[in-house]
Each structure stands twice: as C-alpha cells, then as structure tokens.
Amino acid sequence: MYSRTLLAPFIGLVQIVETIRGRALTIDGRNWEIQYSPPGFPDSREVTPDGKTKLKYALIATLEHGEVKTRGIYRHLDPVVADTVIEGLHELVAAAQLPFPACDCYQYWLLDGEDETPLALVHSCTSEAEMAHCRPEPVWIPMPAVQLKVPDPGAEQSGYVPSVNYRLEKLVEERAGLKPRAAWFERSPQSDQADQADDGFPPYLINEHWETESQRQLWELYIKRLSPRLLMLQGLPRPVRRELEVAARRHVMDVARFHAVYPEVVDEQIIAAARVEARMRRSS
C-alpha cells in the first residue's frame, strides 16, 4: 500500500493497493478502480527501456462509495478469478488506513534559468532504476483550464484574456530560460519534511518568489485554486498547510472530495466548515 504523485500536470496523489496481479487505485479515498493483469495474456506485460517487464492492467471493476460495479472484462478471464480479485482488493481497501506513505522520493525539478534553483516539479519516480531510464521533458505543465478553472478578478471584462493556467505556464517557461534544464533530486520521505520550513524546494511545487507583484498574484491565483489538491501532499510545513487550508475554504466541493486523503489537518474548524457547506450545497 503506497501513494505516488500524479504529475505533468500535478493533480494530486494516487493511493494504490497492490497485489501480485491486481491493484486498486483512488485519488479521493472513496472511489476506487480495481484493475487486473491476466496471466498468459500476450499484452499483459510491456518492456521498459531498461529491458525489464512490467504488468499492464485492465479495468475490471470500480468501488463507488463502497458499492462494487463490474466493468468490461477480457473475454479469456475466468469470472471466478475476477470475482476473487475483486473481493480480495475490496477487503484490503475496506481495512486500509488512508493516506498511504508516498514512495516517489526521486523528483525531477525544472530549474530557474538564472540561479539553477528548483523552480517547478515536473516528474517523480519510485526507484533509481525507474529514474535512470526516465527522460521527461524539462517543461512544467499546469492543469488545463477546462479541468481547473481559476477565477481571475483582475481580468478585463472585454476582449479575450488567456487563462491564469496558461499565463502562469508562460511565466514559468520564461523563467526557465531559452535552454531549460531540469535535474533529479533524491529527497527524504515527505513525512520527514514537515519541520523543514525551507529546504530549498518550493513546498507548493512551484517557486513562490517572483520579481513583480503581478507575477506573484498570478502564481497565487493558481495555487489558491489548486489548494484542495495540494493538501494531499505529505510533509508540508504546518504554516504552509494552514495557508492552503484557508485558501481551500473557498472550494468546498473539492475539499469534500479529497479530505479523506489529507495526511494532516492543522485547523479542523476550517475543513469541517468546508465539508458542512459542501453537504448543504448537495442537498439544496
């Protein structure tokens, strides 16, 4: 049982329960996908760049608020086997204590074009072998505006104004320079970083220091909207976590969706109030 960061773009942490040939995955701790890799199936394995093989999985069921819903199953898969996999993973999920420890301690950071300090997190890996054969582009990508609409009170009402997401992407791109560089870093488990207020790595996954106030405001608009997802991160300094909790209070539906996988809550009142408001909205 482990979790890892979903990146390019960052959308949160996925929680994973893994058995020999099955796995269950969730991003919110409530709705799970159950996947299976049938033995003997010709496409059940793929070769990685280092010559090793890894399993390929098929979606066979979902767990939605505790209810099992079966999905399309490969025609050669024995229904009894499928039921066994589903039942076994269902039991593990039901007994699991969320969130699971994050295992992707190898991080690939886009560097500032001027001083080569970490600018934005681009990718992560769980092992040295995976890192050695991973070649991500040195490019930071935001969540698309269609998936994460960021309110921009400063935008003009007339004429077309690009989304905050796109404008921040361009800012990061410019700051990385004409020849962007990125580097791998091995970091301590995130649970050990909570007391490190400044270890040189941006706790928000994008550097918060900008030259102009307008640039800073653009970064802040995006981070505040992303805050319910950033709260999934493990090892955040407590002042940063509380700041994100305050920002997330304005996005109650996202807090209600993701709170089950928050590793810590600094101000219980803020999160509780957001959840209550979300329930009221759903019932109205």
The residue-averaged pLDDT of 108-113 equals 97
Highest mean pLDDT among 58-72, 130-144, 145-159: 130-144
Cis peptide before 9 (omega within 30 of 0): yes
Least confident among 27-41, 126-140, 242-256? 27-41
Report pLDDT for 76.
59
Say whether pLDDT at 124 is over 70.
Answer: yes
What is the rounded CA–CA span in Å between residue 76 and residue 95?
Answer: 31
pLDDT at 50 > cutoff 50: no
Q: First-to-last CA distance in the chain?
A: 37
What average pLDDT does this structure show over 112-125?
Answer: 96
Residue 71 has pLDDT above 80, yes or no: no
pLDDT of residue 40: 62
The residues pairing with 35 across neighbouring beta strands, listed in sequence order, are 23, 59
The Cα 27–Cα 72 span in angstroms is 22
* Better-predicted residue by pLDDT, 194 or 64: 64
Question: What is the mean pLDDT of the segment spanning 61-70?
Answer: 88
> Does the pLDDT at position 75 exceed 90?
no
Q: Percentage of the chain with pLDDT > 90?
A: 71
In this prediction, residues 204-231 reach a mean pLDDT of 97
> What does pTM read for this prediction?
0.90
Mean residue pLDDT across the chain: 89
Read off the tokens for 8.
Answer: 């390019």
Mean pLDDT over 190-217 rounds to 82
Over residues 240-265, mean pLDDT: 98
Q: Taking the CB of residue 78, how many other CB atoms lie within 10 A of it?
A: 10
Average pLDDT for 122-140: 92
Q: Name the residue type at position 82.
A: A
- Please state whether beta strands 58-64 and 67-70 pair in parallel, antiparallel, or not at all (unpaired): antiparallel
Domain ranges of the chain: 2-95, 106-283
pLDDT of amino acid 190 = 58
23: left (phi over 0), alpha (psi -120 to 50) or beta: beta
CA atoms within 13 A on the CB side of 126: 8
Which pLDDT score, from 0 to 100, does residue 170 have? 98
